[in-house]
Amino acid sequence: MKAYIDKLECSGCLSQEEFALLIENHTPELDEYLFEKSRALRQKYYGNDIYIRGLIEFTNYCKNDCFYCGIRKSNHNASRYRLTKQQILDCCEVGYSLGFRTFVLQGGEDESYTDEILADIIYSIKFLYPDCALTLSIGEKSYDSYKAFFDAGADRYLLRHETADCNHYQKLHPHTMSLENRKQCLYNLKKIGYQVGCGFMVGSPFQTAESLAKDLLFIHELQPQMVGIGPFIPHHDTPFASQAGGTLQQTLFLLGLIRLMIPNVLLPSTTALGTIHPQGREMGILAGANVVMPNLSPVDVRKKYLLYDNKICTGDEAAECRACLQKRMQSIGCSIVVDRGDYKSAE
C-alpha cells in the first residue's frame, strides 16, 4: 500500500482501482505514512499559516430537497430565516475587525435573492472591503447568473459535487437534480474565472470505496483551487436520520490523499470534522488541511442553519470562535493569518 502513496506523490494520480484499494485497506500505520507526506506538502506551499474564511449563512430557505440536508425544502420543522443586506454587511464589519479577509456567503437555493439583489450585495461588500476576497456558495445557477456575480466582484465559488458516481448521486438527491448539471456548473464557474471548489461528504449513505475513488478522479480532472470535504452527519428530520455517519479516520485519510494529489490546493478542515471529534479540526490540519471556516453569522440564526445534528459553535460570538481557533491552531504549531489566503500556483 505504501507504494501506492509513493506513486500518488510522484505522479499526482492513481487508477480508480488503486484509489479504491487504498481507501478500503488503509491502516493506522499507513495513515501516518500518508500524513507525514501531506503535512510536508502543506508546509512547502503554505508554511504554518492557516487561512480563515468568515462564513455568513445568509438564508436557510432552499428549493432543493437533498435527502441528507437539514435545511431541505421538505423539513417543515426547520425555522426559516433570511438576512438583509444590512445584516450581511454588519457580519462583514465584525469579521473585518477580527482579521478576516475572506467572506463566504453561503445559503440554500433561495430564489427570493434575485441575481440583481445578490449582485448588489456582492458589489457592496467588495466596495467596502476591497482588500477582501468574496466566496459564494449558493448552489446551482445558470452561466449568466454566475457571470453576473463574477462581474459584481465575487472571486471564488464553492460547489461540492457531492459524489462523482451517477447512481450514488441519484440516491442522495431527488430526480430533479443531476450530477451532469452539477459538473457543468463547476466547469462554467472555472471558465468564467472563479477560483473553484468542489468536494463531497465522507461516509454519505450508499457511498463505496469505488464511488470515493471516482470522487478523487473527478477532482483530478477538474483541478479545482479548493476542495471541501467533511464527514456526513445525520440530521434527525431527514430521510437519512437513522443512517451511520462518516468516520474521522476515513475523512482524515481522504484529506491526506487530496493534498498529495493537488499539493497546493486550499483544503478546509471543516466544522463537520470538529463536530464528530473535539480535536477534529486540529487533526484535519495535521492530515494536510490549511483552511478553517469560523462562523460569522449572527448568533440568533446560527442554530437555524442546522445541516446536521450537534453542529458545534452555534452559540458562540464570532470573536469567541476566532479566539478559540487561534488557540487550537497554536496548539499544533500553526497560526491563523490576516490574509485573503489566495491559492498559490505551483512553481
Q: Is 137 in the site for ligand SAM (CB under 6 A)?
A: yes
Q: Is 71 in the site for ligand FES (CB under 6 A)?
A: yes
Q: Is 109 in the site for ligand FES (CB under 6 A)?
A: yes
CB–CB of 291/269 below 8 Å? yes
Cβ proximity to ligand SAM: between 58 and 96 the closer is 58
Residues touching ligand FES, count (CB under 6 A): 8
CA dihedral 114, 119, 125, 126 (to 10 degrees): 160
Cβ proximity to ligand SAM: between 41 and 233 the closer is 233
Contact residue for ligand FES among 22, 41, 62, 189 (CB under 6 A): 62
Contact residue for ligand SAM among 106, 251, 271, 297 (CB under 6 A): 106
Q: Is 90 in the site for ligand SAM (CB under 6 A)?
A: no
- Cβ 7 to ligand SAM, closest distance in Å? 29
- Cβ 331 to ligand FES, closest distance in Å? 33
Q: Is 307 in the site for ligand SAM (CB under 6 A)?
A: yes
Cβ proximity to ligand SAM: between 162 and 215 the closer is 162
The amino acid at 198: C
The total of other beta-carbon atoms located within 10 Å of residue 131's CB is 10
Q: Is 211 in the site for ligand SAM (CB under 6 A)?
A: no
Q: Is 132 annotated as a binding residue?
A: no
Q: Is 324 annotated as a binding residue?
A: no
How does strand 226-231 pair with strand 195-202?
parallel
**Residue reference for cell 459524489:** 163
Question: Phi and psi for 54 in degrees, rounded to 5?
Answer: -85, 110
Cβ proximity to ligand FES: between 108 and 234 the closer is 108
Cβ proximity to ligand SAM: between 238 and 326 the closer is 238
Cβ proximity to ligand FES: between 19 and 305 the closer is 305
Interacting residues of 246 by C-beta distance below 8 A, sequence separation 6+: 201, 202, 203, 204, 230, 231, 232, 233, 276
DSSP codes of every residue in 226-272:
EEEEEE----TTSTTTTSPPPPHHHHHHHHHHHHHHSTT-B-B--HH
Please, what's the b/e burial string for 209-227 (b: 16 or more CB within 10 A of its CB; e: otherwise)? bbbbbbbbbbbbebebbbb
Cβ proximity to ligand SAM: between 263 and 284 the closer is 284
DSSP codes of every residue in 124-139:
HHHHH-TTSEEEEE--
- Smallest CA-to-CA distance from 160 within 143, 177, 148 is with 177
Q: Is 74 in the site for ligand FES (CB under 6 A)?
A: no
**3-state class percentages of the chain: helix first, strand second, coil last, to nearest 5:** 45, 15, 40
- Cβ 156 to ligand FES, closest distance in Å? 18
The total of other beta-carbon atoms located within 10 Å of residue 197's CB is 28
Contact residue for ligand FES among 64, 170, 243, 314 (CB under 6 A): 64
Residue 196's binding partner among ligand FES, ligand SAM, none (Cβ under 5 to 8 angstroms by kind) is none
Rounded Cα–Cα distance for residues 292 and 297 (Å): 15
What one-character DSSP code corresponds to residue 314? T
3-state SS, residue 332:
coil
- Cβ 70 to ligand SAM, closest distance in Å? 6
- Cβ 267 to ligand SAM, closest distance in Å? 15
Kindly give the interhelix angle for 143-152 and 179-192, rounded to the nearest 10 degrees: 30
Q: Is 198 in the site for ligand SAM (CB under 6 A)?
A: no
Q: Is 233 in the site for ligand SAM (CB under 6 A)?
A: yes
Q: Which residues bind ligand FES (CB under 6 A)?
A: 62, 64, 66, 69, 71-72, 108-109
Q: Which residues bind ligand SAM (CB under 6 A)?
A: 68-69, 106, 108-109, 137-139, 159-160, 162, 201, 230, 232-233, 235, 272, 307-308
